[in-house]
Structure 1
Amino acid sequence: MGLLHEFRQFTMKGSAVDMGVGVVLGAAFSGFIDSLVKDILLPPIGILYSKMNFENLHITLNGKHYSSLADAKEAGAVTVNYGLFITATVRFMIVLFVVFIVIRQINRWKKPHQHPLDAMTKKECPFCCTPIPTQAIICPNCSSSLKEESDNRERSGKPILRIK
């Protein structure tokens, strides 16, 4: 009973559900990228290089020449399929670029000074001018004590600039 209960709690947590959704979207995205590379990007490049089909680019290790990769495989020849490697590399670069763009956007959304709700829960350190939580008594960036500075300012009415 305990193991089943823990497993249910794990699957209901946001991170496990998010990971499952990510895997499903990744599989769908992979099919999309495969089609984009094979059907749209590589055919025009192949035409530029005298009607070359990237999937048929190969080197046979037995020294014989075959007109296509399918013919070489049918004959049982051992091949180095560098055309398929080129296709996989282009596919990988596209996926890598898209992941970079997505992570870049997520990081922009996470920056505290850009999120409107964080402005209400942040204050600026008087010493290093970085945003910090309003409840902070020591700045996590410059290690200045904010508690005694606020007490001194309240008593004198003047800002005190002291570097620690």
Structure 2
Amino acid sequence: MGLFQEFRQFAIKGNAVDIGVGVVLGSAFSGFIDSLVKDIILPPIGLLYSKINFQDWYISLSGTTYPSLEKAKEAGAATINYGVFLTVSIRFILILFTVFLVVRQINRWKKPHQHPLDSMTKKECPYCCMPIPTKAIICPNCSSSVKTKETQRKSGPAWRIK
């Protein structure tokens, strides 16, 4: 089989399409969340804390004091920029909280009958510890017989050589 045919099988039969769709949706979702935080949530917070500028909080390792971080960088001073780190941390927490709120709302909009696997009762396979349907007789993951506990003790996994 040629290289092109192998690649075609990989792209069509593999998860390449699913991964591609996930990356595109992730990129769009990232832009949405970033705009929501930057354009909607941060302006009121900035209004509340307008007198505080975390960006200029730093420690100069040379011992010289500068009026701002920008001036310290212009002078070539080595600095620990804990104010920038604090700003990025706050933004990260806001983005994380916003993602939580959006996902929470999307989950509220879902209807229970749309996802039959979510409502299916499950049990754990005693051999591979993977979740399987309660009525399963053979584990689809490891092919073990999971009829009853007594049958399991006597026969063991279905794949074992007797």
- Given the superposition, is the C-alpha separation of residues 39 and 72 from structure 1 closer, same or farther in structure 2, using an over 3 Å criterion? farther
**Is residue 1 of structure 2 the alignment partner of residue 4 of structure 1?**
no
Equivalent position to 1:19, from 8, 20, 23? 23
- Partner residue in 1 for 2:99: 99
> TM-score, normalised to structure 2's length?
0.55
Q: Which runs of 5+ in 2 are unaligned?
A: 122-132, 138-145, 149-162
- Given the superposition, is the C-alpha separation of residues 74 and 13 from structure 1 closer, same or farther in structure 2, using an over 3 Å criterion? same
Q: Which runs of 5+ in 1 are unaligned?
A: 124-132, 146-164
Q: Which protein shows a greater Rg?
A: 1
- Given the superposition, is the C-alpha separation of residues 46 and 59 from structure 1 closer, same or farther in structure 2, using an over 3 Å criterion? farther
Deviations 1:37-94 (A, max 9, x none): 76542453242xxxx3111111111111111111000000011111111111111111
Instruction: Show the 5 A alignment for 1:68-83.
Output: 68-83=68-83
Q: How many residues matched?
A: 124
Deviations 1:118-143 (A, max 9, x none): 5xx979xxxxxxxxx8x9478xxxx9
The answer as to whether partners of 1:33 and 1:95 remain within 8 angstroms in 2 is: yes
**Separation (CA, whole Å) in 2 of partners of 1:69 and 1:37:** 26
- Given the superposition, is the C-alpha separation of residues 72 and 32 from structure 1 closer, same or farther in structure 2, using an over 3 Å criterion? farther
- Specify the code of the residue in structure 2 equivalent to 1:59: I
Percent identity between matched residues is 32
- Given the superposition, is the C-alpha separation of residues 16 and 83 from structure 1 closer, same or farther in structure 2, using an over 3 Å criterion? same
- Partner residue in 1 for 2:66: 66
Please give the root-mean-square deviation of Cα atoms over the aligned residues, in Å. Answer: 3.9
- Specify the code of the residue in structure 2 equivalent to 1:25: F
The answer as to whether partners of 1:60 and 1:77 remain within 8 angstroms in 2 is: yes
